[in-house]
């Protein structure tokens, strides 16, 4: 592992974050797609949190609530325990994984259209992302490793979605390492990210992550005590910490783009942003929910 600013390719470290933002929608759109709730409901899983937890965790097998809490990081353990392991009594991990492939195919086809999916650009991006994944390794990356064990579907549409998923989960695992390095637990990470103004709104964070008002207040007080948070939001020290976390996350997820090099990474960003705009124009996300992810 080398940092982007040390690499002889000359890749700008900021490009790593831009590449992530360009391809993230290609994966994340599925959590908001009507096909997602339809397919998972047909398996007997509840729409919303249960389907989300089961969907992302399924490649790791029928893991318990502790593993999901650890790997997803900023959800309340009590919320996760309310959904997992009950989800595995309703649908097996294999059934859930199969449903995810079906959702990805259906939602991308609906949102982008068959002409786009059959285009040379789509095939080009699928090939570039698959090659970028050659740089990924599983050590210390449990969510990535579970998804990587699934293998490649072997068709451009699903190969592209799978590659975007691998890159996203690999980066997410690295982000958790950066949060641990910064000594932020899951709720502290959520509070400080919300306070940057670049993540969830406060009501959305509280509504989706399952923490109680008392838990939120206690961790906020701890952050104030550390000098990271004030009544006005993040302090200068808090802003610096969040900036360092993002920079470390970029370093830990730089290898795929170092492998492709500056020109082909720029091509990924250009094509990926174009497809992301089509997803947004097609109503794949609301502005509030996509700002913070799901």
At 70-91, the pLDDT tens digits run 999 999 999 999 999 999 999 9
* pLDDT score for 200: 83
Q: Count of alpha carbons within 13 Å of 197, Cβ hemisphere only?
A: 4
φ, ψ of residue 32 to 5 degrees: the values are: -110, 0
Structure confidence by residue, pLDDT tens digits, 207-265? 999 999 999 999 999 999 999 999 999 999 999 999 999 999 999 999 999 999 999 99
Q: Is 183 left (phi over 0), alpha (psi -120 to 50) or beta?
A: left
Residue carrying structure tokens 């325990």:
81
Q: What is the pTM of this model?
A: 0.93
What is the distance between the alpha carbons of residues 62 and 64, in angstroms, rounded to a whole number? 7
Domain boundaries, the chain: 10-29+113-292
∠ CA 123-134-271, nearest 5°, is 35
Is the separation of the CB atoms in 201 and 194 below 8 Å? yes
DSSP secondary structure string, 233-264?
Answer: EE-HHHHHHHHHHHHHHHHHT-HHHHHHHHHH
Q: Which residues make Cβ contacts (< 8 Å) with residue 1, sequence separation at least 6?
A: 251, 252, 255
Q: Is 229 helix (H, G, I), strand (E, B) or coil?
A: strand
What is the distance between the alpha carbons of residues 267 and 125, in angstroms, rounded to a whole number? 8
């Amino acid at each position: 592992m080398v940092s982007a600013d040390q690499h002889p390719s000359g890749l700008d470290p900021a490009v790593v974050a831009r590449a992530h933002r360009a391809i993230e929608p290609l994966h994340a759109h599925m959590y908001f797609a009507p096909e997602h709730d339809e397919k998972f409901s047909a398996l007997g899983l509840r729409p919303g949190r249960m389907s989300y937890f089961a969907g992302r965790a399924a490649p790791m097998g029928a893991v318990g609530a502790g593993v999901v809490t650890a790997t997803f990081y900023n959800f309340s353990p009590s919320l996760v325990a309310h959904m997992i392991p009950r989800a595995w009594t309703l649908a097996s991990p294999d059934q859930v994984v199969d449903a995810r492939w079906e959702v990805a195919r259906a939602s991308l086809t609906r949102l982008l259209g068959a002409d786009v999916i059959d285009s040379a650009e789509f095939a080009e991006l699928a090939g570039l992302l698959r090659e970028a994944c050659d740089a990924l390794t599983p050590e210390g990356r449990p969510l990535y490793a579970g998804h990587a064990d699934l293998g490649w579907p072997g068709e451009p549409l699903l190969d592209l979605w799978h590659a975007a998923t691998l890159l996203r989960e690999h980066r997410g695992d690295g982000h958790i390492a950066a949060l641990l390095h910064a000594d932020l637990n899951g709720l502290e990470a959520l509070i400080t990210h919300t306070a940057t103004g670049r993540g969830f709104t406060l009501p959305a964070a509280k509504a989706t992550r399952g923490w109680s008002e008392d838990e939120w207040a206690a961790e906020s007080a701890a952050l104030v005590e550390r000098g990271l948070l004030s009544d006005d939001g993040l302090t200068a020290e808090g802003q610096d910490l969040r900036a360092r976390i993002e920079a470390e996350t970029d370093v830990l997820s730089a290898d795929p783009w170092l492998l492709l090099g500056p020109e082909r990474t720029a091509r990924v960003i250009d094509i990926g942003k174009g497809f992301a705009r089509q997803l947004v124009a097609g109503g794949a996300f609301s502005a509030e929910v996509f700002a913070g992810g799901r």
